[in-house]
């Protein structure tokens, strides 16, 4: 949790946008996602997929992603 003191600081914080947006334009990130998942996904979609797989398959999904991503 981040504490915000004052209207000026709150506005600055809210104007920052989604930190994952910065990764969307990176060709290296897009290529990596395509190589791992076999399709074009946003970083947020990748996170959603990983979470769904871990909920369904538990540690087995974590082991699979670790091997796939880290080698």
- 24: Cα separation from own chain's centroid: 10
Which residues constitute the domain of residue 43?
A: 19-70
Angle between helices 27-37 and 43-57 (to 10 degrees): 30
With 70 as the cut, is the pLDDT of residue 71 above it?
yes
Task: Give the Cβ contact number of residue 33 at 10 Å.
Answer: 19
Mean pLDDT to the nearest integer, 53-61: 97
In a domain, 13, yes or no: no
In a domain, 27, yes or no: yes
pLDDT of residue 26: 81
Domain count, the chain: 1
**What pTM was computed for the model?**
0.65
pLDDT digit string, tens, across residues 6-55? 888 888 878 877 766 666 668 888 899 999 999 999 888 999 999 999 99
């Amino acid at each position: 949790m981040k504490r915000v003191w004052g209207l000026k600081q709150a506005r600055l914080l809210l104007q920052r946008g989604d930190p994952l947006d910065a990764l969307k334009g990176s060709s290296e990130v897009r290529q990596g996602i395509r190589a791992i998942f076999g399709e074009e996904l946003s970083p947020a979609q990748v996170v959603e997929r990983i979470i769904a797989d871990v909920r369904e398959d538990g540690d087995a999904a974590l082991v699979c992603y670790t091997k796939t991503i880290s080698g």
